[in-house]
Amino acid sequence: MLVDSHAHLDDKAFGADLPAVLQRARDGGVERIVTIGTDLASSRRAQAIAEAHPDIYFSPGIHPHEADNPGDVEALRPLAAHPRAVAVGETGLDYVKNYASVPNQKALFVRHLEIALEADKPVSIHCREAHGDAISILRAHAPLRGVIHCFSGDWTAAEQYLSLNFYLSIAGPVTYPNAQALRDVVRIIPLDRMMIETDCPLLPPQKFRGKRNEPSYVRYAAAEIANTRGVTLEEVSEATSRNARNLFGLT
């Protein structure tokens, strides 16, 4: 059985066929999905999806791309306290796209961490080319629980997140031909600190490049991890699902 620890089921890409998408996931052995908010409206849509499906949970957040105009950040507090909310975020830092200023990204990130601590929930973190600042901010707000979603850093960054008791989540890019550096890191991340995800509808595995990603495809990341580490798919599936259940309190 598998857990897709980071999906965006409220995305308009699923507007026409979400029931079919979810059924394919279930048929493919995906037992739980965490759907992630990227702004207040998205977070509320994610809540509604989680309320309608017992195998789906949600995480409210405002993406760092929105940090210059995040809206009413305080509105995340009641969302984070919802019984179907298992984390806070997507939050973090993105120094690749730079759609928002760095000071505003940092300030919004800190607000999320404060809300997570208050709600006693883990955080789901987006980090691209900003690991130094992200790690510094996380250290300043320890102890926290959480996951670095779609991890793309090197082993130095991985070690620092692991030292803060964070999980590292691996997505479809691990299957890409040019992702050898990521596979080298995946080979040595402790399996008891690893999770898997799709980040759908983005980042489909290599077999579906150019097409919409969906939760049933999470098995391709699991299979690549198993191949990279020289272990069975069942071992990877069991470990990553157990880790997601433990972090998020999935039932």
CATH, residue 112: 3.20.20.140
Overall domain count for the chain: 1
pLDDT of residue 194: 98
Bond prior to 54 in cis (omega within 30° of 0): no
pLDDT tens, per residue, the chain with 251 residues: 999 999 999 999 999 999 999 999 999 999 999 999 999 999 999 999 999 999 999 999 999 999 999 999 999 999 999 999 999 999 999 999 989 999 999 999 999 999 999 999 999 999 999 999 999 999 999 999 999 999 999 999 999 999 999 999 999 999 999 999 999 999 999 999 999 999 999 999 999 999 999 999 999 999 999 999 999 999 999 999 999 999 999 99
- Give the pLDDT confidence score for residue 206 in this predicted structure: 98
The pLDDT value given to residue 127: 98
Q: What are phi and psi of 49, to 5 degrees?
A: -65, -45
Closest Cα partner for 195 from 245, 231, 144, 136? 245
Residue 146: name the closest of 243, 239, 78 by CA.
243
If residue 196 lies in a helix (H) or strand (E), which one and from where to where? strand 194-196
- Neighbour tally for 116: CB within 10 Å: 25
Alpha carbon 119 to its chain centroid, in Å, reads 18
Q: What is the pLDDT of residue 50?
A: 98
The domain in which residue 142 lies consists of 2-248
